[in-house]
């Protein structure tokens, strides 16, 4: 089945306001920037995004945030996005902060049909006991906090139950992909992309290089096409547009 869609706009056209999106990437590495821009241009709002972080102030999910299109974030950290921190602390954005490994497993479990699992991460903290601020009001008061979670003992050790994540749409970026939706990620751009692809009911992949079925070595495929419903082939210019989250240089005087 040929899953290639003519444009990013067409690929996200059925995303509606209030949808839950699982978005691949880590910082600015491996983010589906073209699809994110297409969502922005579509005008939908009140979105919930599940992603490791929220990009930066002017790129990635940060563009949706700046345009006030995000209602809620499920993520691991605020990162370099000052507007994210401002909206969260001023009560404009609800944020469910989740340990990074737990977030990854919640997404993987959602894509595997597992409703919940137990983990040692967070036992004895507010992660398990509840009370983590999810939303503030404009005066800095907590108006919604995380609920307590079930804790169970296995072999003498306590574990907290975490529920899986299933999103309405998964948005990912791959290095190479074929028309059947099989995807290969490159190096660290692999990050959360396979997980976002798994947990989306409808997953859209933007690929830097589109190849024909049979050209990918099955041993090298990271995301099988069964998890992907739509493929968008990027132009060379789009594929090359990769921002650097924090650029650092070394003082030449310190070299040698």
Tens digit of each residue's pLDDT (9 = 90 or more) over 81-97: 889 999 999 999 999 99
Cross-strand pairs, 231: 4, 205
Q: Are 30 and 242 in contact (CB under 8 A)?
A: no
pLDDT by residue (tens digit) across 24-39? 999 899 999 999 999 9
Identify the burial level of 211 via C-beta atoms within 10 angstroms of its C-beta, where 0-12 means exposed, 13-18 middle and 19 or more buried.
middle
pLDDT of 255 strictly over 70:
no
So where are the chain's domains? Answer: 1-106+165-239, 116-163
3-class SS at 105? helix
Cα 60 → chain centroid: 10
- Position 78 scores a pLDDT of 80
CATH number of 1-106+165-239: 3.40.1080.10
Taking alpha carbons only, the member of 57, 58, 61 closest to residue 25 is 61
Rg of the Cα atoms in the chain: 19
- Closest by CA position to 4, among listed 223, 213, 186, 194: 213
DSSP state of 121: T
């Amino acid at each position: 089945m040929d899953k290639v869609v003519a444009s990013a706009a067409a690929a996200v056209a059925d995303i509606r306001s209030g949808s839950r999106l699982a978005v691949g990437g880590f910082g600015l590495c491996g983010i589906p920037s073209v699809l994110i821009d297409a969502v922005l241009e579509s005008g939908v709002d009140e979105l919930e995004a599940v992603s490791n972080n929220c990009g930066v102030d002017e790129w990635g999910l940060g563009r949706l945030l700046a345009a006030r299109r995000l209602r809620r974030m499920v993520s691991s950290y605020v990162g370099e996005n000052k507007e994210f921190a401002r909206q969260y602390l001023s009560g404009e954005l609800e944020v469910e902060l989740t340990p990074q490994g737990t977030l990854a497993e919640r997404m993987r479990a959602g894509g595997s049909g597992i409703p919940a699992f137990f983990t040692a991460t967070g036992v004895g903290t507010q992660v398990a006991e509840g009370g983590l601020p999810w939303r503030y009001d404009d005066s800095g008061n907590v108006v919604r906090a995380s609920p307590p979670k079930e804790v169970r003992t296995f072999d003498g050790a306590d574990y907290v139950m975490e529920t899986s994540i299933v999103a309405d749409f998964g948005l990912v970026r791959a290095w190479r992909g074929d028309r059947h939706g099989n995807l290969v990620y490159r190096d660290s751009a692999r990050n959360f992309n396979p997980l976002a692809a798994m947990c989306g009911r409808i997953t859209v992949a933007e690929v830097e290089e589109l190849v024909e079925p049979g050209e990918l070595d099955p041993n090298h495929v990271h995301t099988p096409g069964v998890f992907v419903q739509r493929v968008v082939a990027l132009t060379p210019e789009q594929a090359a547009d990769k921002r650097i989250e924090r650029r650092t240089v070394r003082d030449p005087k310190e070299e040698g």
